[in-house]
Structure 1
Amino acid sequence: MTSTHLFFVLVTFFLNISITFSTQLRPGFYEQTCPKAEEIVKDVMLESMMRDRRSAASVMRLQFHDCFVNGCDASLLLDDTPNMLGEKLSLSNIDSLRSYEVVDEIKEALENFCPGVVSCADIIIMASRDAVTLSGGPNWEVKLGRKDSLTASQADSDKVMPSPRANATALIDLFSTFYLSIKDMVALSGSHSIGNGRCFSIIFRLYNQSGTGLPDPTIEPEFREKLDRLCPDGGDLEVIGNLDATPFKFDNQYFKDLVNGRGFLNSDQTLYSLDPRSREFVVQFSKDQGAFFAAFVEGMLKMGDIQSGRPGEIRRNCREVNAGSIEQGFVKSF
């Protein structure tokens, strides 16, 4: 058994003892208790995008990084404490995730309108949907009713979240542990239709793919020259590049780029170049944007259903557990 396969066996075991799929979530959960909740979330999300166009991709990404680690429970948003090392500094999140302050702004607006009602976990789900819709992508009805976790774990995040160096086969294995199909995985990878990535994430592709000392041969030559100029060997690894040719528009350009060897991340390009199981859907979505949108919505809904089954609350501040919860020892119950 290779180390990669062993890793996913361990991840599968870890998930099987902690992940459930909620049947209690439903559309319109806040119709009576906070009827303007979804409207407020969308308004604040639009304001944030007008200030910073990158915030759409950043906020959408929060759903992925939250839901894959012990379910969709806003554990990702918790700041570290003297007794808890949270997820924000995990390997896949540090220097990568941003726009936490947008969630703070949404939470503040909701607390002003209906205090103590809307969970931070549901804010992530609604804001992620709105980020896609406001970028030209599909709209869909989200299921709500989540509780916020009482703790977070950097170790748990490190165990689960994939690296930009991951390949299609590894991603298929990982997504399957969440009962997400290959089609789901490819469609959800289409979240990279908007946003940027750092040179840090691709430097190995340009100059030392698989330890060869050579560039990744699947990169289209002109695109590789462009990336070489953006990310020269020995250059600033914090420089950002576009994940596809239309980084602020949610469309199927991402898949067209993969077919043409112009994927930015290794984990993206291998969906086409490495595994025929994922290549089939890359080609389909590159030709049919409607099919991509439909599959993306289905995948987001499935991912949003992942829950830990652990105790939770409605946080007053998304960055910290309510004081009463700590006093009553609920955190220790984990």
Structure 2
Amino acid sequence: MDYETPLFFHVMGYAADADGDVIDMVSGNPDWEPPRALRTALHEYADLEPDQFQYPPSAGLRELRGEVADRRGVDPSQVVITNGAGEANYLAMARALERNVGDEIVMTDPVYPYYPGKTTMLGGTQRFVETAPDGSLDPADVRDVASEDTAAIIVNTPNNPTGAVYPESTIRALVEIAEDNDALLIADEVYDHFDLSGTFTSALTVDSSNRIVTNAFSKSMAITGFRVGYAIFPPELVENAKSRHMLVNVAGSRPSQYAVAHALRETGPDYYEANRDLLRDRVTTFTSALEAAGAEYTRPDGSFYVMARFSGYPGTLANVERLIDEAGVAGMPGEAFGSARPDWIRFALVTPRVETAANRLATYFE
């Protein structure tokens, strides 16, 4: 079977091998500090007894599952600690398909490329719903596509790559559509701490046995290398997910989970607000330069990505490589995110050199 291979690592490798100075705006690796409590916990961990260096419980450390459950208003038994949001989404999509009520996964276009890739890997069929130019999703369009063949509807809010944040009315409508078609709504909320609009609504606010919520600490704590995420399942769906997690991974990293649990408990809201303020400033800096260059752009309500369209310069892989070589700025081609935004390029605002990158683009396209 041929799987779709996301282009992220190709573009990152091309940028790394390029001659000259290249500003990486490809990956979603935050450049700011993780919580101080997380560093402290890692130091503490090094001096623990040998038994703490062995397998943790497969579903995750009890302490971490409890912290997640308390914050999300669910029972700890519903929480599976995963190898980042990537595994959380894999478990959720697998659980949807193994219910044998359909083989289609409905997703948006533009789309985070790992969703269609996982769908193929799991033997499912992709169905796409195009979003509006601002990234908003009309539930009526989802309802038109959903059918008895739908196993799941997967959405990401705040969204990568569009920056859209779906309002409560959209989330409730999507859960209802899933229920009406005996499908599952999978809500990937990994950017929930980067809601810049104040309008984010978690799917957990809707009580339903037809929804799964996935998340991770990769972005919110600036620890993409720790690979600590989680999925929250309805009680009747969680046991098979735990078994699949055990068979694929055995368990996750014990020291990573230990550090995250301590950081959750000891990190206040000021940490997250400071990072949102940083991103707001970067959005303003970057989009102002794009406007000066005459580019069209999206101004994100959440997450930390900006999509831009430069006249006569479609967002192909070849043009992205050319931009790396000639302007010294690396972004992601719009064609990597489906068929709806082939003329656009996505830039991640997770570099302290946002202003320099913006100026380089403005100069290049003037």
Which structure carries more strand by proportion? 2
TM-score, scaled to structure 2: 0.27
Which structure carries more helix by proportion? 1
TM-score, scaled to structure 1: 0.29
